[in-house]
Structures are given as C-alpha cells and as structure tokens.
Structure 1
Amino acid sequence: MKGKFVSWLAMFIALSVVGAALKIPAIVGSVALDAFPALLAAVLLSSGAGAMVAAFGHLLSAVLSGFPLGPMHFLIAAEMAVLVWIFGNLYKNSKKFLAAALFIVGNAIVAPIPFIFFMNKGFFLAIVPSLLIGSIINTGITLMAIPRLASLFSNQFIKNEAKQ
C-alpha cells in the first residue's frame, strides 16, 4: 500500500470514529452511524479497505460505549467486515439495490442471530429495531454520498494503489 491510499483509509476510519459518536437509541449503546464510512470506502477505495474500516469502526464504536457486549464485539466486527465487503463487491458490479438490501437485512437481522444463542431471544428481538433503523440510515447516507464523492476517487492513483 502506498501513502495516499493509506491516508484515505485512515480518513475513513476517522470518519467512522465520528460516526460512532452519533448513537441511535437502543438497548445496547453501540448502534451508531459508524458503518457509512466503511460502505463508502468499500465502493470508493476497495472492498477490502471497506472491510477494514468496518471492523475498526465497529470496535471503536464499542469502545466509546464502554464495550457493553464484551468480547462479542469482535464477532460483530468480523460480521460487519464481511457485510461491507459484500456490499462493495455488489455495488461495483452495478447491483446497487441488491447491495443496499443485503447490507440492511444482513446487518439488522442476520448478524445479530448469534445473540439468540449467547444471550436470549428477547435480546435479539429488542436490538433488531434499532439495528434496522441504523442500517437504513447508514446505507441511505452512503447511497447519497457515493455519487457526490466518486469524482474525488476517479483518479487512477487510488485504484492503482489499492491493487498494490
């Protein structure tokens, strides 16, 4: 990786930290606007870069809220990374609606399924509405921002550096 690419990656992680401070009312205080920078990075930089931003962004969001779910946040960070990677790949293959729908459903309904086994069904049912709202907001911000920011990232230097 070269300097400019790493700088952009750091900027998206920093944006994720800012988004992590913008909480959505929930039973667990780690539902936040930390995913949209990762979704942006997945489309504008690379799917792998977006996955890294998603994992770090979620962990930083969890730290800011006091790590309420303990080590479960590492599982959530991995799930976020996978979902963002899938979003980036689908979006770049002109499947924007499918990318958005899969991210929203995956983040709000599929990703919290392990909580049924580790905690209980009540916790799962209580967290899903907040996750759904957060996923819709994060995805909506992303879909509005990508066309406006795409010209910044149309330069070949970013695409070439992402491949190295």
Structure 2
Amino acid sequence: MFAALSAIGAFIKIPIGINSAALDTVPALISAAFLPPVYAGAASLIGHLSSSLYAGFPLGPLHLIIAVEMFLILFVFTKLHQAGRNVWKWIFFIVANSVLATLPFYWIISPAFFVMALPGITIATVLNAGIAIVVSPVVERVMERVRTHA
C-alpha cells in the first residue's frame, strides 16, 4: 500500500527552478512507523522509480543508483525511528537524501551538475520531510484507534 501511495505521490510535482519536487517519499517516510525497514525502503525505491518513469528517466540508468540510495536511506531512517531517535531520523533523512545521495554525481556526471542539482533536491527533501512530519502523528493516532477498536 505504501509503495502504491509513493507511486501516486510521484505524480504530484512541484516546480523548483529547472527541476521539480515530487511527493513520492512522503508515504515511505510515514511507513517507517508501521513497516519493517526493508519494506519502507522498498516503498521509497518504488516511489523514486515511478517518479523517474513519469519524468522520462532523464538520468537514464543512473536512476537505479538513486533508487538504491533511497532504499538505503529509508532503511536507516526506519531503524532510527524504531530506536526512538525521532530528531536524528529527520536530520539523517535531510542530510542523506539531499547531500549524500547527490554527492556521487559530483564524480559520475560533473561538479557543475552537483552544484545545480543540490538546491532543488534539498528543497524537495525538506518539503517531503515537512509533510511527513505533520502527517505521521495523525496517521499513527488513527492506526492506534483502529487497533484498539478492532
């Protein structure tokens, strides 16, 4: 379900400079409260591949690297959530998804690409995180009510 929601979120694009921010990561971030790390990572991987597909795979097969990065980032994010590191999980996500995930492209493509991509990716990361920070507690409360009344 969270992978499907991530694929749907990939359709929601917000223009940022020369690229756009998709809301494909929000459901994967929320899934950290309910799913094991592997499944939360898979939801993020599917969300990124869906977003890339809708955009026409502008980086070609390099999107596979990004998808694996997204999987790993959400895997660690979920582990941090499970360990109760509620502030650190968000700091990790924002730094890892914006700077660390973009860093390999400094060498793979060019330093200019890295410098050009970093602001847009950082804005997209903060936007996805911000929405998830607001929505996650609400979804968790609803799920708790469902569990107690089921």
Normalised by the length of structure 1, the TM-score is 0.82
RMSD of equivalent CA atoms: 1.6
Candidates 46, 66, 74, aligned match of 1:76: 66
Runs of 4+ aligned residues of structure 1 deviating over 4 Å after TM superposition are none
Q: Distance in 1 between matches of 2:45 and 2:121?
A: 16
Write 1 or 2 for the structure with the bigger share of strand: 2
Corresponding position: 1:41 with 2:37: no
Normalised by the length of structure 2, the TM-score is 0.89
Secondary structure class of the residue paired with 1:58: helix
Query: Could you say which residue in structure 1 is the equivalent of 2:85?
Result: 95
**1:92-136 residue CA offsets vs partner (Å, 9 max, x unmatched):** 222111100110010100101111111100110111111111111
Query: Could you say which residue in structure 1 is the equivalent of 2:138?
Result: 148
5+ long unaligned stretches in structure 1: 1-10, 157-164
Indicate the percent of aligned positions where both proteins have the same amino acid.
Answer: 34
Mean CA deviation greater in 52-61 or 31-40: 31-40
Q: Distance in 2 between matches of 1:133 and 1:92?
A: 26
Asked whether the equivalents of residues 19 and 120 of structure 2 are also in contact (C-alpha less than 8 Å), the reply is no
Candidates 2, 9, 15, aligned match of 1:12: 2
Candidates 116, 126, 147, aligned match of 1:126: 116
Candidates 95, 104, 109, aligned match of 2:94: 104
